[in-house]
Amino acid sequence: MKHRALALIGLVLTVSVWSCTNAPQPQATPAPAAATSTAPQDVEATIAQLEKDWVAAIVKKDTATLDRLLASEFAGTSPTAHTYTKSEAIADINDSRYVVDTMDLDEVSVNVYGTTAVSFISQEEKSKYEGKDTSGHYHFTDVWVKKEGNWQAVASHGTRYDEPAANEKPKAR
């Protein structure tokens, strides 16, 4: 199951990047004056705000916002390497299996590929899962796709980040 979810995430990223770089480009036509901008920096700001909305929804147990932000085909991998779906993520919040007291984003960066965006998030959280303390510093990579005019997360992968000891170099891939 874990391998299938990771393969799905890899496939989504590959197809999204390929389709954005290999799709025929339509001829430019003037945009109506009221049209919203899709400049990469505007998309970056939109995705950064959606990441903040996602964090706020988790802390507030706002499952309606989570339902709006996560695509029906959402696939996540937790920092403990467990895979989960949209419905499982929402159920964990609804049933208080995952309880977050605070979640503070300290970094958000976004790369845009047409109607796909990949964001990197660094966060500090105070949390519990099934009563066990899971507080710590985490990094997430999220994949967003614009569907029917709205951005939704289709994949997320998290890992716990522990500062290297003073005499230890960070490991490169």
Say how many CA atoms lie within 13 Å of 149 toward its Cβ: 2
pLDDT of residue 17: 38
Residue that is written with structure tokens 């950064």 in the block: 48
What structural domains and CATH numbers belong to the chain? Answer: 2-9+37-160 (3.10.450.50)
pTM (2 decimals)? Answer: 0.74
115-157: per-residue pLDDT in tens? 999 999 999 999 999 999 999 999 999 999 999 999 999 999 9
2-31: per-residue pLDDT in tens? 444 334 344 343 434 334 444 444 444 433
CA 97 to chain centre: 20
Cα 5 from Cα 85, distance rounded (Å)? 10
Are the CB atoms for 121 and 107 separated by under 8 Å?
A: yes
**Of 8, 50, 75, which Cα lies nearest the Cα of 146?**
50
